[in-house]
Structure 1
């Protein structure tokens, strides 16, 4: 059986410059980066219109990435409402808005199960790591029930919601979530061990609906173009769920020019030659 390559998936914001740049290359998937401004009254309407615009240009698959930050803090689900009420409410309201938009327009939304920067601070508000994890799973369960087939959850490099530990993965699988798999996050969590990354890809394959294909040196969040890090992409490709979508989530020199994403796609094509 010939291994299918991932389809061309690109990421950008709702800005016309970024959308028009990505549409030149006819991606099959467009993932919207969103931020706090997209959840004002006007911003939400502009995001809604941008999704329809991208759809009108024949892009089949659209994913809305939940905003990463609120103010100076990451939108980490483990943040307790009692200590961080504004952050907690923003996560609630923005997730509800994304689910509504996704349902209305037949697209997908992606929520991070955790982040890393302030995570240890938040965990300290709980009696134990296990207690903190269970709070996050309950919140994810609620979002899953709200979003149905329009919501997915992405892994982080923190112990709250990560891929790379079989026991943690079994716990995640028991909740029957639709999963987004960031290859670099898993690789970093596994301290640069390609065998662990491949084991995780294989274990979770059937539950993954979307991939962030991104390289890394395996030490920190470096978001490298494919082929510039230490991930063994020849080993990764056969383990991808061929029914899932994917994008290249690469740091760009210029956010209005997606060349590093395109270079990553060409790199994967070169592996088949």
Structure 2
């Protein structure tokens, strides 16, 4: 059974980093935002990576920014219709991948989001054309990032886990995968059987987990143990070589207690 990492998430904000490091995590994930991709923002992010690694954290992940202005950073974005958004997605990904190689850290890119997906899908003749375009983008970043890039599942109609045919296609692509447990659970309306099947099917390609609970209806990002995911069944199915963090909604961004409580819950469940 996988050893559960004390994996914490923060921005490059000094107060957030200090809070996370006091718990001595062994995995650290930075969530980034549009402001991180100015010249000064990238310098600050690079410094924060060094700070965390100097503290002794060996596994660091950089989460691609979720938003640019009023848009989510959908890989569906067509260059000809939304050139500014497209350029931000491309350049921010290149910036993170450069940091990935320079600092020997990992970069996480979302295959899709959900809140604006239908707006982007309307820019394509059909779902198949949209899917084909997204896989072309994923192939592009896979080629650039190699062992430094991974792709996370959505709850949208694009790039989700749990459909056996789609999972087979993803495996055939040999993508390095980030598996968000709550996203899969919500996609299938709280079906633990679907979650268990997807975890089993994709296990060998998963390099990183977001261990997050949910009631299975909305994107609630609950503390582990406070939702309906059957963690007793999930734990034995995790790839032993993968890292993990707890991507939980915090009451206070400067206090990671809900993330730490999630770690303690799984440790207790394992009897450790």
Q: TM-score range by the shorter chain?
A: over 0.9
Name the SS of the counterpart of 1:27 in structure 2.
coil
After superposition, the C-alpha distances for 1:191-228 in whole angstroms (9 at most, x for unaligned) are 10001000000000000000000000000100000010
Match of 1:38 among 36, 39, 47: 36
For 1:138, the equivalent position in structure 2 comes to: 136
Would you say how many aligned residue pairs link Structure 1 and Structure 2?
271
Does residue 1:242 correspond to 2:255, yes or no? no
For 1:69, the equivalent position in structure 2 comes to: 67
Q: How far is 1:5 from its partner?
A: 3.2
Q: Normalized against structure 1, the TM-score is what?
A: 0.98
For 1:214, the equivalent position in structure 2 comes to: 212
For 2:77, the equivalent position in structure 1 comes to: 79
Q: Equivalents in 1 of 2:111, 2:88: separation in Å?
A: 15
Q: Gaps (5+ residues) in structure 1?
A: none
Name the SS of the counterpart of 1:10 in structure 2.
strand
Q: Equivalents in 1 of 2:215, 2:161: separation in Å?
A: 17
Match of 1:94 among 92, 95, 109: 92
Q: Normalized against structure 2, the TM-score is what?
A: 0.98
Say what the alpha-carbon RMSD is for the aligned residues: 0.7
Name the SS of the counterpart of 1:217 in structure 2.
coil
| Structure-to-structure mapping, 1:120-269, within 5 angstroms | 120-269=118-267
Q: Which runs of 4+ in 1 moved over 2 A?
A: none
Contact 1:223/1:250 (CA < 8 Å) preserved in 2? yes
Q: How far is 1:4 from its partner?
A: 3.6
Q: Equivalents in 2 of 1:80, 1:120: separation in Å?
A: 14
Contact 1:5/1:237 (CA < 8 Å) preserved in 2? no
Q: How far is 1:171 from its partner?
A: 1.3
After superposition, the C-alpha distances for 1:13-69 in whole angstroms (9 at most, x for unaligned) are 111101111111111100001000000000000000100010000001000000000
Name the SS of the counterpart of 1:222 in structure 2.
coil
Q: Gaps (5+ residues) in structure 2?
A: none
Name the SS of the counterpart of 2:241 in structure 1.
coil
| Structure-to-structure mapping, 1:24-35, within 5 angstroms | 24-35=22-33
Name the SS of the counterpart of 1:45 in structure 2.
helix
Q: How far is 1:72 from its partner?
A: 1.1
Match of 1:21 among 19, 38, 61: 19
Q: Equivalents in 2 of 1:145, 1:40: separation in Å?
A: 25
